């Protein structure tokens, strides 16, 4: 009992408590409030009503009219008191904090209300009459050329969020607005007045001003693509975009030619408007904004590459990508964010009212939607945005997520191929872990956030760009302007995990900002995180986001943290919600397949559900060690992050210091302090008691690399291979979603890396580079069998499998359209789990060695078809699709519609089919399992049948490589002996599975002389509807016998072939049958896991 009492007492001590103590949390919360007010008060004193504050010089920061190209200022600053707008929602959140703390509660609420009143005083109340004129302007009637994206997320979003707080739709503890019950209005822009202390009556002024500002942005949406121009003048519109339909008469056919203006926008800028504009439309009853924003989102998404990646720059007029790279950082970041958050915001809502509003606005009536067909109900639905998020996340995880040879991070890769493009991390990408947490991808979120946490620990901020290759800050791009993305993610992950480790991360960020960024008139961004040089600018988002997320992190009981509603934070950190009054009746939702739809009152509702993806958020996990209290601190790979960011070589100035004397040429002997140790754990605020008592990190894995260079007949080819350069263009044919196909092996150079295959329980090789090109983790390297099957070198040995084989069928043109038949599926082996013998064959494990069946058909004709490359791609794609799926560790994104049509998919018309029939024959291929047991016999030695993709294939004579022409259809073959001429005059007997055992089927085949090539060579048992994943090797437990019961002297080879309904009947139409052997590749005794022999 005494020991228990001691343990309980120790558990309450601050250095043992698993969670942060409430008094310490309150201290951090108050420090955050003080941080905000130091910046806000300085802005209001030294800079208001201008846009931003120069905290070093204590002066306002305004637009730069003398230098229009200074988009760093002019895109953002619009001469409308930007920092005040961005700060209002933070003030409202502080107003919901504990009232006993300094500046929170009633004090912050009063400042929020004073801020609203001050803004209305300077910009009017948004009406047409005299009250609409403010001291500074009438609404946003300003001669300011601004960026559409920045104006929406900061200006429109800030006004809408403050309005929702003002009317009580977003919670403020203790604030219960009481609208004047004597005032009634059907106009959603004229809300019943709410009287605040001091006499100000709030009646929707911010909503009306948000509408005024948004209407001034509408000209930018006058494009033929639906993608908005990047900039607009708040007073004059877009006179500088001379090719816009806004400036052309309907009769004009030629675009107007004028001075060039940049029409390049970015995915984030065009696709991240849906939250603000949807809320505005629902609050105002004006559908224009929601429609233009959603159209812009879908137009960008529709242009994603065939592997599902969006790019950065995109031309608003032509709708084409500018530049090749893709990633999660600058230019692309918030597109992903708004895909998921639009789903959240719209969840449970009906399709919006599509009727045009007739309300007269402060500008001429503009509706860019008139240029385009109306959006479908699907594009308005919550589930459509969820599907877009799932697909986008899957593509990012497959192509951008990089975890080979180092701790995982998100790289910048080629949009079309997924190939590595640049090796750096930018600070804007720090938002992504928080988005993953919102999506329920907790493990990935925690892992991703560790990199940014280590970088912050190393530099005391996150540099704008950090080089993975150099493990240091990119030269000339070392600033941190007070960005919120890292603390935003930390906040969201803490809310999802309740892990106190993230409170310590927030504490680190708070202390580092106070130490490095404080100046007398506010908070300065860092021009260089290495030197500590300060910028003379306090960006509006520092008060609007950074301090907001810090405060919410330290206030777990805040009303917004416990608000049970579909609200979201915009990419500028402004909370938004569609109020109940603006929602309409919710649509009953039934989970269905991704293609299912249901009808509700003549409105088609899109329902999406895909079990492959994360569809719910997990509950926080209990700590593995309750006394430590943190699962993140207990992760065994923490030191891997430290090595990746080079943190472990960085002196820890927050730890013990020693005094040293250094001789200076000018000052003589000076005293300095030096860290006695480097960083080992992070954040630097983490108390040792939060680490597990037996915490260990695994030793770094030693990379085992190997290189293979194929002999070259041409010395120049070998030289190119060594340099990893131009020869790759002639050696490789790279297919998206699949990987490279080696066109020629002469002089080819491979780099292999050894990994451990957890499934097989053995080490394997992975081809990481081929001909100087990086092979992504999900990609395979394809070799043609005719090129490599003769290799028996220890460095590269191609071994034939005994357990499986491809059965290949050739069918002449048939007058019956293929679209009227149910067609078979092809199948491909999963990765090998069996053993190899010392010859050229493999004994594989039984059932597990077959994979799902896929259909394939390759057209042949007298001349190569026009879409030859496309047909080749289809053949290769289907030849490795199952192997790709078998080795995939994440959900695979749905492929984009291919630039070719599937010649047997049934999606084309009879006329198209007739045209195909005149051109040539069809070739089908299925995976089949060979027999095992005492009655099994080896397959006949025949040449591999050539597919369209095979070297040496003759379109003029496609059957030349097929050994067998005569097929006997035997049905179940269970009712007695077959006719005597069945094995004597036919080379292949096809049976249906079932009715009797495999052995009984073979015993019903009469005796025959096997020496004649015209006699029986192979028995194919077709299992229609069989699942290739579970298909066994057919067991022949006893020796084969003839119908008379005598042992069969010459056994008959048999294979079991799973297929779809209709597969058996296809053999009746066969003009030729053949086989294709299956191979694996080994090097130095280890399997090369991602090498596939076609």
Phi, psi of 946, rounded to the nearest 5 degrees: -90, 135
Q: What is the tens place of the pLDDT at every residue in 764-797?
A: 999 999 988 888 888 899 998 888 988 999 999 9
Asked if residue 954 has pLDDT above 70, the reply is: yes
Task: Determine which of 135-144, 177-186, 572-581, 872-881 has the lowest per-residue pLDDT on average.
Answer: 872-881
Q: What percent of the chain has pLDDT over 70?
A: 82
Q: What pLDDT is stored for residue 949 in this prediction?
A: 76
Catalytic residue, from 150, 441, 803, 1003: name it. 150
- The one catalytic residue in 337, 387, 485, 1003 is 485
Q: What is the DSSP string of 495-560?
A: HHH--THHHHHHHHHHHHHHHHHEETTEEPPBS-TTT-PBPS-B-HHIIIIIHHHHHHHH-TT-GG
263-273: pLDDT as tens digits? 999 999 999 99
Q: Is the pLDDT of residue 366 over 50?
A: yes
Whether residue 836 is predicted with pLDDT greater than 50 in this model: the reply is no
Give the least confident one: 362-371, 461-470, 631-640, 852-861.
Answer: 852-861
Instruction: Tell me if 543 sits within 8 A of 35, measured CB to CB.
Output: no
Segment 510-518 mean pLDDT: 98
Residue 141 in tokens: 């009637």
Which of the following is catalytic: 333, 337, 555, 1024? 333
**According to the model, what pLDDT value does residue 37 have?**
98
Strand 325-326 relative to strand 264-266: parallel, antiparallel, unpaired? unpaired
Of 143-147, 152-156, 1059-1063, the least confident: 1059-1063
Helix segments in 833-909, DSSP class H: 868-887
pLDDT recorded at residue 197: 94
Region 1024-1043 average pLDDT: 85
- DSSP assignment of 287-352: THHHHHHHHHHHHHHHT--TTS---SEEETTT--EESSEE-SSTTTHHHHHHHHHHHHHHTT-PPP
Specify the DSSP element, H or E, that contains 457.
helix 442-459
User: Taking a C-beta distance cutoff of 8 angstroms, is the pair 813, 923 a contact?
Assistant: no
pLDDT above 90 (res 598): no
Task: With cut-offs at 50, 70 and 90, classify the pLDDT of residue 862.
Answer: very low
Q: Which of 175, 197, 268, 171 is nearest to 228 (CA)?
A: 268
Is 23 a residue of the active site? no
62 marked as part of a ligand binding site: no
How large is the average pLDDT for residues 277-281?
Answer: 98
Q: Exposure of 692 by Cβ count < 10 A (0-12 exposed, 13-18 middle, 19+ buried)?
A: middle
Asked if the model's pLDDT at residue 853 lies above 90, the reply is: no
333 is catalytic: yes
Q: What pLDDT is recorded for position 818?
A: 33
Least confident of 128-132, 871-875, 920-924, 1062-1066: 871-875
Among 217-226, 826-835, 869-878, the least confident range: 826-835
Contact 756, 762 (CB under 8 A): yes
The answer to whether residues 154 and 572 touch, using CB atoms and an 8 Å cutoff, is yes
Model confidence at 582, in pLDDT bands (50, 70, 90)?
low
**What's the confidence (pLDDT) of residue 288?**
96
- pLDDT tens digit string along 184-226? 888 999 999 999 998 999 999 999 999 999 999 999 999 999 9
pLDDT for residue 1079? 93
| Residue pLDDT, tens place only, 542-564 | 999 999 999 999 999 999 999 99
Q: What single DSSP character describes residue 702?
A: P
Does residue 687 carry a pLDDT above 90?
yes
**pLDDT the model gives residue 737:** 67
- Supply the pLDDT for residue 901: 27
pLDDT of residue 1045: 92
Sheet bearing 762-770, strands edge to edge: 705-709, 749-757, 762-770, 773-774
Query: Would you give the DSSP letter of residue 843?
Result: E
Q: What is the pLDDT of residue 268?
A: 97
Residue-level pLDDT at 921: 81
Average per-residue pLDDT for the chain: 84
φ and ψ at residue 244, rounded to 5 degrees? -65, 140
Query: What's the confidence (pLDDT) of residue 605?
Result: 56
- CA gap 289, 295 in Å, rounded: 10
| pLDDT(580) > 70 | yes
- Of 888, 700, 922, the C-alpha closest to 809 is 922
Q: What percent of the chain has pLDDT over 90?
A: 64
- At a CB cut-off of 8 Å and minimum separation 6, what does 1053 contact? 930, 931, 937, 938, 939, 940, 1017, 1018, 1019
Structural contact between residues 145 and 233, judged by C-beta atoms closer than 8 angstroms: yes
pLDDT band at residue 612 using 50, 70 and 90 as cut-offs: confident
Residues in the chain: 1094
pTM above 0.85, yes or no: no
**With contact defined as beta carbons under 8 Å apart, do 46 and 59 qualify?**
yes
CA quadruple 611, 615, 621, 624: dihedral, nearest 10: 40
Q: Which residues pair with 729 in a beta bridge?
A: none
Q: What local confidence, expressed as pLDDT, does residue 664 receive?
A: 79
CA nearest 846: which of 731, 933, 769?
933
pLDDT tens per residue across span 976-997? 999 999 999 999 999 999 999 9
Please spell the DSSP secondary structure of 176-189, one letter per residue. ---B-TT---S-TT
pLDDT surpasses 50 at 867:
no
- Predicted confidence at residue 970, as pLDDT, reads 96
Question: Is 464 designated active site?
Answer: yes
Convert 559-590 to b/e letters by CB count within 10 Å (16 or more is b): bbbeeeebbbbbbbbbbbbbeeebeeeebeee
User: Per residue in 615-642, pLDDT tens?
Assistant: 889 999 888 777 778 999 999 889 999 9
Q: Is 1039 a catalytic residue?
A: no
Give the per-residue pLDDT at 391.
96
pLDDT at position 489 over 50: yes
Are 606 and 372 spatial neighbours (Cβ–Cβ below 8 Å)?
no
Mean pLDDT of 586-600: 41
């Amino acid at each position: 009992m005494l020991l228990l009492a001691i343990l309980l007492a120790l558990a309450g001590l601050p250095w043992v408590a698993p969670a942060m103590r409430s008094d310490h949390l309150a201290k951090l919360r108050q420090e955050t409030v003080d941080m905000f007010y130091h910046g806000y008060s300085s802005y209001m004193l030294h800079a208001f009503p201008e846009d931003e504050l120069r905290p070093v010089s204590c002066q306002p920061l305004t637009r730069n009219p003398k230098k229009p190209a200074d988009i760093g200022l002019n895109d953002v600053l619009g001469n409308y008191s930007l920092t005040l707008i961005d700060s209002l929602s933070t003030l409202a959140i502080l107003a919901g904090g504990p009232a006993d703390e300094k500046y929170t509660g009633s004090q912050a609420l009063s400042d929020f209300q004073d801020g609203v009143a001050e803004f209305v005083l300077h910009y009017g109340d948004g009406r047409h009459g005299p009250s609409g004129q403010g001291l500074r302007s009438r609404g946003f009637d300003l001669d300011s050329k601004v960026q559409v994206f920045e104006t929406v997320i900061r200006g429109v979003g800030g006004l809408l969020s403050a309005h929702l707080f003002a009317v009580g739709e977003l919670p403020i503890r203790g604030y219960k607005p009481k609208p004047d019950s004597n005032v009634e209005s059907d106009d959603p822009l004229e809300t019943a007045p709410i009287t605040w202390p001091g006499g100000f009556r709030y009646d929707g002024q911010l909503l009306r001003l948000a509408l005024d500002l948004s209407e001034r942005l509408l000209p930018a949406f006058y494009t033929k693509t639906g993608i908005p121009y990047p900039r607009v003048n708040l007073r004059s519109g877009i006179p500088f975009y001379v090719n816009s339909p806004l400036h052309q008469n309907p009769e004009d056919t030629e675009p107007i030619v004028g001075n060039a203006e940049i029409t390049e926008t970015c995915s984030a800028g065009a696709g991240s408007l849906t939250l603000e504009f949807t809320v505005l439309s629902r609050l105002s009853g004006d559908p224009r904004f929601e429609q233009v924003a959603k159209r812009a989102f879908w137009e960008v998404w529709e242009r994603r590459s065939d592997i599902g990646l969006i790019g950065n720059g995109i031309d608003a007029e032509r709708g084409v990508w500018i530049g090749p790279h893709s990633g999660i950082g600058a230019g692309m970041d918030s597109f992903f964010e708004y895909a998921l958050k639009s789903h959240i915001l719209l969840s449970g809502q009906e399709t919006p009212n599509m009727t045009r509003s007739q309300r007269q606005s402060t500008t001429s009536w503009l509706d860019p939607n008139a240029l385009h067909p109306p959006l479908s109900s699907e594009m308005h639905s919550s589930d459509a945005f969820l599907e877009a998020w799932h697909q986008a996340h899957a593509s990012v995880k497959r192509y951008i997520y990089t975890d080979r040879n180092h701790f995982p991070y998100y790289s910048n890769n080629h949009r079309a191929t997924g190939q590595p493009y640049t090796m750096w991390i930018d600070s804007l990408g720090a938002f992504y872990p928080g988005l993953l947490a919102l999506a329920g991808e907790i493990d990935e979120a925690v892992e991703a956030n560790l990199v940014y946490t280590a970088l912050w620990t190393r530099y005391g901020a996150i540099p704008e760009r950090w080089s993975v290759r150099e493990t240091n800050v990119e030269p000339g791009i070392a600033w941190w302007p007070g960005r919120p993305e890292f603390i935003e993610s930390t906040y969201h992950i803490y809310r999802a995990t309740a892990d106190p480790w993230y409170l310590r991360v927030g504490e680190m960020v708070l202390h580092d900002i106070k130490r490095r960024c404080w100046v007398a008139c506010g908070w300065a961004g860092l021009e260089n995180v290495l030197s500590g040089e300060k910028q003379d600018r306090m960006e509006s988002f520092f008060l609007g986001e950074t301090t907001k997320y810090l405060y919410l992190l330290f206030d777990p009981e805040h009303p917004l943290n416990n608000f049970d509603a579909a609200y979201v934070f915009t990419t500028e950190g402004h909370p938004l919600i569609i109020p109940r009054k603006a929602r309409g009746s919710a649509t009953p939702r039934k989970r269905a397949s991704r293609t299912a739809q249901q009808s509700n009152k003549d409105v088609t509702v899109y329902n999406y559900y895909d079990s492959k993806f994360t569809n719910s958020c997990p509950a926080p996990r209990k700590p593995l060690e309750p006394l430590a209290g943190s699962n993140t601190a207990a992760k065994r790979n923490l030191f891997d992050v430290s090595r990746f960011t080079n943190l472990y070589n960085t002196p820890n100035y927050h730890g013990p210091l020693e005094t040293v004397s250094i001789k200076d040429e000018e000052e003589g002997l000076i005293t300095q302090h030096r860290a006695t140790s480097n960083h080992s754990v992070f954040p630097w605020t983490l108390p040792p008691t939060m680490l597990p008592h037996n915490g260990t990190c695994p030793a770094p894995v030693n990379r085992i690399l190997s290189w293979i260079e194929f002999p070259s007949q041409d010395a120049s080819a070998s030289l190119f291979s060594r340099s990893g350069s131009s020869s790759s263009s002639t050696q490789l044919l790279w297919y998206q979603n699949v990987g490279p196909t080696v066109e020629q092996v002469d002089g080819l150079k491979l780099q292999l890396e050894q990994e451990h295959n957890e499934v097989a329980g053995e080490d394997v090789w992975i081809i990481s580079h081929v001909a100087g090109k990086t092979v992504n983790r999900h990609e395979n390297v394809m070799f043609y069998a005719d090129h490599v099957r003769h290799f028996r070198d220890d460095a590269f040995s191609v071994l034939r499998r005994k357990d499986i084989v491809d059965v290949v069928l050739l069918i002449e043109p048939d007058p019956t359209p293929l679209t009227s038949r149910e067609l078979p599926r092809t199948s491909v082996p999963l990765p090998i789990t069996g053993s190899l013998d010392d010859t050229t064959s493999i004994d594989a494990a039984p059932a597990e060695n077959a994979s799902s069946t896929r259909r394939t058909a390759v057209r042949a004709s007298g001349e190569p078809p026009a879409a030859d490359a496309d047909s080749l791609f289809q053949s290769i794609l289907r030849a490795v699709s199952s192997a790709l799926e078998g080795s995939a560790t994440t959900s695979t994104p749905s492929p984009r519609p291919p630039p070719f049509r599937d010649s047997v998919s049934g999606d084309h018309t009879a006329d198209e089919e007739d045209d195909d029939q005149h051109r040539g024959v069809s070739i089908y291929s299925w995976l089949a399992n060979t027999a095992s047991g005492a009655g099994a016999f080896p397959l006949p030695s025949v040449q591999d049948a050539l597919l369209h993709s095979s070297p040496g294939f003759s379109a003029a004579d496609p059957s030349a490589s097929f050994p067998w022409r005569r097929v006997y259809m035997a049905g179940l073959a269970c009712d007695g002996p077959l006719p005597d001429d069945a094995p004597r005059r036919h080379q292949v007997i096809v049976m249906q599975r079932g009715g009797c055992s495999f052995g009984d089927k073979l015993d019903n085949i009469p005796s025959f002389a096997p020496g004649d090539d015209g006699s029986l060579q192979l028995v194919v048992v077709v299992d229609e509807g069989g699942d290739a994943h579970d298909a066994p090797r057919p067991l022949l437990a006893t020796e084969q016998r003839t119908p008379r019961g005598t042992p069969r002297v010459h056994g008959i080879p048999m294979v079991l072939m799973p297929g779809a309904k209709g597969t058996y009947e296809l053999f009746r139409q066969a003009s030729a049958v053949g086989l294709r052997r299956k191979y694996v590749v080994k090097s130095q005794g280890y399997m090369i896991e991602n090498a596939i022999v076609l």
